[in-house]
Amino acid sequence: MSWQIYITSIVCLSSTQLALAQADTDTNEPAQLAPVVVVATKTARPVGDVAGSVTVVEAYQLADRLSIDIADIVRYTPGIALPRSTTRFGWDSYSLRGVGGNRVAIEVDGIPVGGRFEIGNYSNAGRDVVDIDLLQRVEVLYGPASTLYGSDALGGVVAYYTLDPGSLASVGDPYLAASAGFRGDQDALNARLSGAWATERLAAMLSWQRRRGEQRDASAAGSTAQDHQEWDSDSLFGKFNWELGEQGRLTATVEQRQRQTDTDIQSLLGNGRFRSTSLLLGDDEQQRQRLSVRYAFEGPKFDGRVLLFDQDTETRQLSIEERASLDVRRTRLFEFDQHTTGVEFNATSRFDTGSVSHTLTYGIEMARTRTSELRSGFQTTLAGGDYTNLLLGEVFPVRDFPVSRDVEAGVFVHDEIQLGNLTLIPALRYDDYRLRPRPDTVYLEDNPGADIVAIDESQATPRLGAVYKFGGGWSVFGQYARGFRAPPFADANIGLDIPLFNIRALPNPDLDSETSQGFEIGLRRFAGSDEFSLTAHYTDYENFIESRAFLGPDPATGVLLFQSRNLGEARIYGAEVRWRQRLGRTLGLHGALAWTRGENELTGEPINMVDPAELVLGLDWHPNKLPLTAQLSWTLVDRQDRFTDPDDELVGTAGFGVVDVTARYSLPGATVRAGVFNVFDKVHWRWSSVRGVPVDDPTRPLLSEPGRYAGVSLLFEW
């Protein structure tokens, strides 16, 4: 039986059993309120009222997974992938239903996280900028979401919400916590101290987190050359609430996170362009600071929220390469900085027009971002110390795009029209995007005569959704949504020239905005302790931007030319199933399945960003007389042999099944958590980690998932 048939059989059987179990309880068990989410409408709404697909991961789930980084957020969530950027640079950015990178908006408390950028082997700025212990919950909105979130949300939204002092402490009852933990896949240690207190008008919290670890374990894959890595991170976080009575609440948040990573790269030595390299070291640092102030007020007919924020993300990456046979040492420095300031005003009004009820959400948002990038370097001889800033034909320092300032302003309106059991949800957003490059002497000296592009793009993105509620907690929903993404700074104004390799990247003043049209329909139920949802989705994408596509040799000079360009049309479609049900008083069953396909509509070839089908099954045990919770999780992933490989050199992935077991035991004032992951020590690779990797790439074994490992954590609360 093929994997697809196997999945279909399980889903049909589970759905049938669930429907029968629910049919028996419909007359006796009242409907349960669906989980409340914010990301789908920018207001708190039950997920059963949302015309779209949303996944929620709560803080207790992250803790029970012994989470240490953002990969653990999506560990048991099919349909979301998190690629890795080699063994040195770590996690990249989320991919939702096959669309990822900067096409997915990531927000922390409503503040957009900076974009990612990479160029060459030594420069990679990612989007892993949040400490997992600070999160109260994570909400994921799938599909085009530009109607609410603008240009960056072509493929969806990942929204982080941080802890709030009001959920930890109450008046006269302060909160103090200390925790420590260990996880074996990275020999990772973590410690946290946090406290919160409250008065009648003021609530505040402070938190400090520290982590340290090593490279991910890849010994199970049979690697003969490990890349040795040591990393540590520190996070400071403070949040302060002032209750203003009938005038609302004022919240100020300060946050700083720093991560330092040192890597001794062994796997590349002696291979390809590194065949004469005898030493390759990486010293990488990433920092993120933010200050935000939010004012919110509520009334019987009108709620309002104002957000002011300032955020700075800095990446510094130092690379040292020695080639003893050539008597040279090459030192390279990459710097990537994004500084964003913004203001948002969102409001919700509730009113009636005759017998029709409206919940109208609307807002104005503006953000300004300054992005700068710099590569510098020099070469010295090992014997005599002779110095030159000419490396591989490049005269350093250089900028691969000019310092850029972009301003995005948007205005949106989102109405929920209640017509009995039917809710219609029309929405519209208008965005104005302006990119203004600021070339300096560094950029101009490296790119003389470059056609520098300023971009002015405006776009209206409509959305229409509907939700119809039946009895017994059942409902159906559907939506049509448009998305767009303006051409980014790096694609429009890239300027890269490496004479030794005979390559040059050119700006493209004629790039069009990427656009999408998404359709989604679904059936779901929230009743008692049971949940069920079945969703089908289809999205057409036009003018996808392929960064630095190969154009061929210049007829006049023979130089190999690269330029970002718009591709033709692509389509991504699929189906998802999620369910949760009780099996008696002590057991619970839950599962999730995602199946996605993607094709280039012009060629019919598969889209390599799309991951294979994945099924996650979980069994929860809650004994009545013990403060114990245990969970067994079984993850099944199909093989990936459906991808575009014109040169027949890329590696696919085999299907695999992995079993994890975790447990939580609660004592007065303390909680112990423990887990064993990949219990049967299965050697396996995730497609998102190795897509585009040649079969003979020496780093492939190091990109495997860890073998069997264990973890434990201890939390004290007073």
Q: Which long-range contacts (CB under 8 A, 24 or more apart) does 270-275 make?
A: 271/698
Q: Which two tokens stand for residue 71?
A: 């990969």
The answer, yes or no, to whether residue 31 has pLDDT greater than 80, is no
Render pLDDT for 531-562 as a digit per residue (tens, 0 to 9): 999 999 999 999 888 777 778 888 888 888 88
Quote the DSSP letter at residue 398.
B
> How many CA atoms, within 13 angstroms, populate the side-chain half-sphere of residue 229?
31
Q: How far apart are CA 610 and CA 597, in angstroms?
A: 7
Taken in order 115, 121, 123, 127, is the CA torsion positive or negative?
positive
Q: Where are the beta strands (DSSP E) in 265-402?
A: 279-297, 302-323, 328-353, 356-381, 387-388, 390-391, 394-395
Q: How far apart are CA 542 and CA 556, in angstroms?
A: 33
Q: What is the pLDDT of residue 6?
A: 45
Q: Are 536 and 546 in contact (CB under 8 A)?
A: no
Q: Are 486 and 496 in contact (CB under 8 A)?
A: no
The answer, yes or no, to whether residue 631 has pLDDT greater than 90, is yes
The answer, yes or no, to whether residue 269 has pLDDT greater than 50, is yes
Q: What is the pLDDT of residue 593?
A: 97
Q: Are 364 and 323 in contact (CB under 8 A)?
A: no
Render pLDDT for 98-118 as a digit per residue (tens, 0 to 9): 998 889 999 999 999 988 888
Q: Are 684 and 654 in contact (CB under 8 A)?
A: yes
Q: Please provide the average confidence, as pLDDT, over all residues in the chain.
A: 89
Render pLDDT for 569-589 as a digit per residue (tens, 0 to 9): 889 999 999 999 988 889 999
Q: How far apart are CA 48 and CA 257, in angstroms?
A: 36
DSSP states of 441-499: HHHHHHSTT-----EEEEEEEEEEEEEEE-GGGEEEEEEEEEEEEPPPHHHHH--EEEG
Q: Which two tokens stand for residue 692?
A: 């585009």
- Tell me the backbone φ, ψ of residue 165, rounded to 5 degrees: -60, -30
* Domains located in the chain, CATH noted: 3-717 (2.40.170.20)
Q: How far apart are CA 172 and CA 184, in angstroms?
A: 40
Burial of 66 (0-12, 13-18, 19+ CB in 10 A): buried
Q: How far apart are CA 56 and CA 50, in angstroms?
A: 13
Quote the DSSP letter at residue 208.
E
Quote the DSSP letter at residue 289.
E
Q: How far apart are CA 394 and CA 401, in angstroms?
A: 15
Specify the range with the lowest mean pLDDT, choosing from 21-35, 153-167, 218-232, 597-611: 21-35
Q: How far apart are CA 704 and CA 695, in angstroms?
A: 13
Specify the range with the lowest mean pLDDT, choosing from 1-15, 174-188, 444-458, 637-651: 1-15
Q: How far apart are CA 718 and CA 714, in angstroms?
A: 14
Q: How far apart are CA 150 and CA 129, in angstroms?
A: 21
Cis peptide bond N-terminal to 606, omega within 30: no
Question: Cα-atom radius of gyration of the chain, to the nearest Å?
Answer: 26
- Cα–Cα distance list, 454 to 476, 506, 511 (Å): 45, 15, 11
Q: What is the mean pLDDT of residues 611-625?
A: 94
Q: Are 492 and 509 in contact (CB under 8 A)?
A: yes
Q: Which two tokens stand for residue 271?
A: 């291979």
CB atoms within 10 A of CB 12: 11
Q: What is the mean pLDDT of residues 223-232?
A: 83
Q: What is the pLDDT of residue 14?
A: 44
The answer, yes or no, to whether residue 337 has pLDDT greater than 50, is yes
pTM equals 0.92
Q: How far apart are CA 203 and CA 201, in angstroms?
A: 7
Q: What is the pLDDT of residue 34?
A: 67
The answer, yes or no, to whether residue 416 has pLDDT greater than 90, is yes
Burial of 199 (0-12, 13-18, 19+ CB in 10 A): exposed
Strand partners, 252: 240, 293
- E strand or H helix at 87: helix 86-89
Q: What is the pLDDT of residue 620?
A: 95
Angle at 362 between CA 359 and CA 366, to 5 degrees: 160
